[in-house]
Structure 1
Amino acid sequence: MLVSSTELFHIADKKNFAIPATNFIDALTAKVYTETAESLGLPLILAYAESHQDYLGLEEAAWIGKHYAEKVSVPIVLHLDHGSDPTFIKEAIRLGFTSVMIDGSSLSFEDNVQVTKSIVEYAHSHGVVVEGEIGHVGSNTVSYEGEDNDQSQYTTLSEAKAFSQSTGIDSLAISIGTAHGEYTGKPEINFERLNEIDKELSVPLVLHGGSSTGDENLKRCAREGMRKINIFTDLIVAAHKEAQTQTPHYMALRDNLERGFKEVLTHYYHVFETQPIELKDDTMKHSTKSRPFFMINPKSYLTGKHAYELAIAADRYAEAADFDVYFTAQYVDLKALADQTNNLIITAQHMDGIHLGRGMGFVTGDSLKEAGVSAVMLNHAEHPLTLSQLVASIDKAKAVGITTIVCADSVKEAKAIAMLAPDIILCEPTELIGTGQTSDASYIEKTNEEIRAISSDILVMQAAGITTPEDVYHTIAKGADGTGCTSGIVLADNPSVMVRDMLQAVTDATKTDRK
């Protein structure tokens, strides 16, 4: 089953284990890796490195990876490893990779941020997650993944924090003492640095150069914050050793090679303490972050039976819609709605940016994700956040795989929020909320322009005063990526019919040329 890594890392973090990432260089290795994962009932990151394109072309790798991923029932992430050429990375995304790595670790910090951020914006607009690297994991005397004798540079906490916040990456590879290729001795792992970074960052951490790092070292890495650990050299060495065994014919040689690959991967699954991951259907009901979209936002008007009835009707209409439909609800109703609907993106009306632990009365991202929530609204005028609270909430939502919809009042505030890289910005002048008066064309045009100048990856929602299907139509036609409604729906004579008509208005507006 081909999937993104977001939900896998969230579960791995919650249950405290790592998932192996194995580089495939041909159909045989891809087949053995995925079949081994299937036989054990465990998830896998099936990785293809840009440096291996001389052995296997990108187009071939995409076809092979998707083919074998779809043949098994366990979650498989098709990941581009150590991408350095932006054109190559974008082609991998076009071909169907569900995760990509942009490795700018050999560049200056500023250049690394710039190239990584550009890839993040492109990948996210196509629904693909991105791994970045800060610090530099070098290579040993003999390496199969890059230049030999390439020196490592440890990752610092300050760099890791600044890099993560500046780029919007989904996972981060850090350097704590490992290197690619074959070691001449056991490496010294800086666990203090790992703990320091894991404590401060919300994004999942990745370890490169896992081969021959030592089982106890790797087990400890998995237990102390690494969610993805790359293994390649040990697989190749084991297969080569098996190839030395005398065999009567080629097919016997092939069997030996498969045995070598399988034994090493099985061994590391045990070392990483990888656990089965069963993705519920509702984990696949996530926002594609695509244009257009519509939000049904009952606020505190509806709860229990009444919220459920509207959600069921909206779910039926959303099935026929060719766009995302969000539905917000009270916290106590979220799980029931997620369980009973198939086509809505269930959205929380607030979330606190805290980790599990001490604290009373907070709404944690972990609990929302567990309930089946896929998106969250933040900083609404009726539930405002401080800057530090907003940053923490966005970071936490990203870590658990929840889409962020952040509210902005003025053009100035919209520009400031855009720098925090949320998924969607809801532009809504506070004075227009509940008035039935929509934002004028100049406000829509200016907020769209200013936000997109900062990041074309952020979707812009305009929803002030939306009360009729005509309002929906004109707002989308004026250039908004999405819109939504509260009072126009919940106070209508027939709320479900109003939802139907507003969704139809979105469809009609997208058929016209945007003005």
Structure 2
Amino acid sequence: MPLAATGELVGAAAAARSAVAAFNVITLEHIEAVVAGAEQAGAPVVVQVSENTVAFRCGRLLPLARAAVTAAEHAAVPVALHLDHVQRDDLLRQAADAGFSSVMYDASRLPYAENLSRTRGAADWAHAHGLWVEAELGQIGGKDGRPPLDAHAPGARTDPGEAHAFVTASGVDALAVAVGTTHAMTERTATLDHDLVKRLADTLDVPLVLHGSSGVPDGELAQAVAGGIAKVNVGTALNAALTRAVRSALAARPEAVDCRSYLKQGREAMAAEVARLIGVIGTPRTTAAPR
């Protein structure tokens, strides 16, 4: 199947008052697991490669991107490719030629004015090259001399009024919002601000994205989607599933040296988690036009 476009998948989910799941990948096994899990669920999916993963892959984007493109083209469900948490402009400029239909440009660590300026420039370039653009906005500092609060710091929240101004001025296509999650959570204990999710959804005319979803319990996640979240990002949950399966396999057979045996179990565990989470958020079994 031809590569799907992230914007088409997110738009279709938002129109159905649902969400599309987006999974961060690190290895080929991650990619295969995401595709297999989505096929099991019969739903579209977004495969995400982060700037941190590019750094882990010796600074090279193309090897993993090409593997993801090939997997997507052989998938039985629509699969889109997304470049996640990009801070480097040189990496952003590699996205379109590597098969990505979308990018999350992350200047959220910067003061509001600089975040806006950097994001506006990135969005202008990305749109000129056919890319759908996501950005992130947390709590804005500056009052009483306080610095900006990172979007995933404890207590960070996205202000609806500031978010509306930011989206309008930056021209982005989607906004990742701070509503109570934190990246890299290994326990599912996050409590979301569902009233804020609804106010953001009512205020903005672009889809909302939830980062740090691995730390959100199933019921909270489903409620967030019902409240207006249209893209759900997951990373740590897959890594946890992989690690648990590999540890279990090696504990049962400590003499094992052929990595295929335990990586197979890890891949199957990740695929099961992908299918399960897609079921939790209720992604529609619909297709999107190819890019």
Q: TM-score, normalised by structure 1?
A: 0.50
1:257 alignment partner AA: G
1:272-291 correspondence to structure 2 within 5 Å = 272-279=281-288, 283=289
1:271 alignment partner AA: V
- Equivalent residue number for residue 223 of structure 1: 226
Tell me the secondary structure at the aligned position of residue 176 of structure 1.
coil
1:310-389 correspondence to structure 2 within 5 Å = none
Q: Matched residues in 2 for 1:267 and 1:69: separation?
A: 20
- Equivalent residue number for residue 280 of structure 2: 271
After superposition, the C-alpha distances for 1:152-186 in whole angstroms (9 at most, x for unaligned) are: 62100111100110011111100000001125671
2:136 alignment partner AA: E
User: Is the Cα contact below 8 Å between 1:207 and 1:228 reproduced in 2?
Assistant: yes
- Equivalent residue number for residue 145 of structure 2: none
Displacement of 1:259: 1.8
After superposition, the C-alpha distances for 1:392-440 in whole angstroms (9 at most, x for unaligned) are: xxxxxxxxxxxxxxxxxxxxxxxxxxxxxxxxxxxxxxxxxxxxxxxxx
Tell me the secondary structure at the aligned position of residue 54 of structure 1.
helix
User: Is the Cα contact below 8 Å between 2:225 and 2:281 reproduced in 1?
Assistant: yes
- Equivalent residue number for residue 198 of structure 1: 201
Q: Matched residues in 1 for 2:34 and 2:183: separation?
A: 20
Identity %: 27
Larger radius of gyration: 1
Q: Which runs of 5+ in 2 are unaligned?
A: 140-149
User: Is the Cα contact below 8 Å between 2:40 and 2:275 reproduced in 1?
Assistant: no
Q: Which has the higher contact order (CA 8 A, sep 6+)?
A: 2
Tell me the secondary structure at the aligned position of residue 56 of structure 2.
coil
After superposition, the C-alpha distances for 1:288-340 in whole angstroms (9 at most, x for unaligned) are: xxxxxxxxxxxxxxxxxxxxxxxxxxxxxxxxxxxxxxxxxxxxxxxxxxxxx
After superposition, the C-alpha distances for 1:55-110 in whole angstroms (9 at most, x for unaligned) are: 22212122112111111132111001110111111112332211101011111111
Displacement of 1:243: 0.7
- Equivalent residue number for residue 211 of structure 2: 208
Tell me the secondary structure at the aligned position of residue 209 of structure 2.
strand
- Equivalent residue number for residue 259 of structure 1: 268
Displacement of 1:52: 1.5
Tell me the secondary structure at the aligned position of residue 211 of structure 1.
helix
1:267 alignment partner AA: R
User: Is the Cα contact below 8 Å between 2:181 and 2:215 reproduced in 1?
Assistant: no
- Equivalent residue number for residue 144 of structure 2: none
1:120-199 correspondence to structure 2 within 5 Å = 120-135=123-138, 151=154, 153-183=156-186, 186-199=189-202
Q: Matched residues in 1 for 2:170 and 2:21: separation?
A: 25
User: Is the Cα contact below 8 Å between 1:62 and 1:92 reproduced in 2?
Assistant: no
After superposition, the C-alpha distances for 1:444-475 in whole angstroms (9 at most, x for unaligned) are: xxxxxxxxxxxxxxxxxxxxxxxxxxxxxxxx
User: Is the Cα contact below 8 Å between 1:26 and 1:61 reproduced in 2?
Assistant: yes
Q: Matched residues in 2 for 1:78 and 1:256: separation?
A: 25
Counterparts in 2 of 1:152 and 1:127: CA distance versus 1, 3 Å: farther
Tell me the secondary structure at the aligned position of residue 91 of structure 1.
coil
User: Is the Cα contact below 8 Å between 1:177 and 1:190 reproduced in 2?
Assistant: yes
Displacement of 1:218: 0.2
Tell me the secondary structure at the aligned position of residue 101 of structure 1.
strand
Is 1:24–2:25 an aligned residue pair? yes
1:153 alignment partner AA: A
1:27-42 correspondence to structure 2 within 5 Å = 27-42=28-43
Tell me the secondary structure at the aligned position of residue 154 of structure 1.
coil
Tell me the secondary structure at the aligned position of residue 95 of structure 2.
helix
1:52-67 correspondence to structure 2 within 5 Å = 52-56=53-57, 57-67=60-70
User: Is the Cα contact below 8 Å between 2:20 and 2:231 reproduced in 1?
Assistant: yes
Q: Matched residues in 2 for 1:261 and 1:185: separation?
A: 17
Tell me the secondary structure at the aligned position of residue 229 of structure 1.
strand
Q: Matched residues in 2 for 1:96 and 1:113: separation?
A: 26
Q: TM-score, normalised by structure 2?
A: 0.88
Displacement of 1:5: 1.8
After superposition, the C-alpha distances for 1:9-65 in whole angstroms (9 at most, x for unaligned) are: 222112121111111111111112112212332111100010112322212122112
1:166 alignment partner AA: A
1:15 alignment partner AA: A
